Amino acid sequence: MTDGATEAESAGGAARGHEERPLKRVIGRKVLLLFVVGDILGAGIYALVGKVAGHVGGMIWLPFLIAFALATLTATSYAELVGKYPQAAGAALYTHKAFATPFFTFLVAFAVLMSGITSASAAARAFGGDYLAEWITLPALVGALAFLGLITLVNFAGISESIKVNVTLTIIEALGLLLIVAIGVYALFTGGGEPGRALEFHPSTGVLTGAVGGTALAFYALLGFEDSVNLAEEAKDPQRDYPRALFGGLAVTAVIYLLVAFTATMMVDTATLERSTGPLLEVVRAAGFTFPPKLFALIALLAVGNTALINMIMASRLVYGMARQRIVPPVLAVVHPTRATPWVAILFTLAIAVALVATGDIGGLADTTVLLLVCVFAVVNVAVLVLRKDVVAHHHYRAPTWAPVLGAVVCVVLVLPIGRDAGVYLRAVILVAIGVVLWFVNRLVVGKVADVDPARLTPDD
Candidates 140, 120, 35, 151; CA nearest to 372 is 120
**Cα gap 236→243, rounded to integer Å:** 13
Spatial contact of 208 and 198, defined as CB atoms under 8 Å apart: no
**Cα gap 351→359, rounded to integer Å:** 13
What's the farthest any 2 CA atoms get from each other in the chain?
70
Q: Which residues contact 376 (CB under 8 A, 6 or more apart)?
A: 91, 108, 111, 112, 115
Candidates 59, 447, 135; CA nearest to 292 is 135
DSSP characters over 254-320 = HHHHHHHHHHHHHHS-HHHHHH-SSHHHHHHHTSSS---HHHHHHHHHHHHHHHHHHHHHHHHHHHH
Spatial contact of 108 and 95, defined as CB atoms under 8 Å apart: yes
Q: Which residues contact 394 (CB under 8 A, 6 or more apart)?
A: 239
Spatial contact of 236 and 440, defined as CB atoms under 8 Å apart: no
Q: Running along the chain, 461 residues long, what does each successive block of 10 average in pLDDT?
A: 39 39 58 76 79 82 88 91 78 86 88 90 87 85 88 70 56 85 86 81 72 80 72 68 86 90 89 84 80 84 80 81 78 78 87 92 88 93 93 86 94 84 91 90 72 62 44
**Cα gap 414→198, rounded to integer Å:** 24
What is each CA distance from 251 to 41, 217, 300, 382, in whole angstroms? 12, 19, 22, 24
- Total number of residues shown for the chain: 461
Q: What's residue 8's pLDDT?
A: 39
Spatial contact of 397 and 244, defined as CB atoms under 8 Å apart: no
Spatial contact of 321 and 230, defined as CB atoms under 8 Å apart: no
Q: What's residue 417's pLDDT?
A: 82
Left if phi > 0, otherwise alpha if psi is -120 to 50, otherwise beta: which for 159? Answer: beta
* CATH architecture, domain 4-456: Up-down Bundle (1.20)
Q: Domain residues of the chain, as ranges?
A: 4-456
Q: What's residue 158's pLDDT?
A: 58
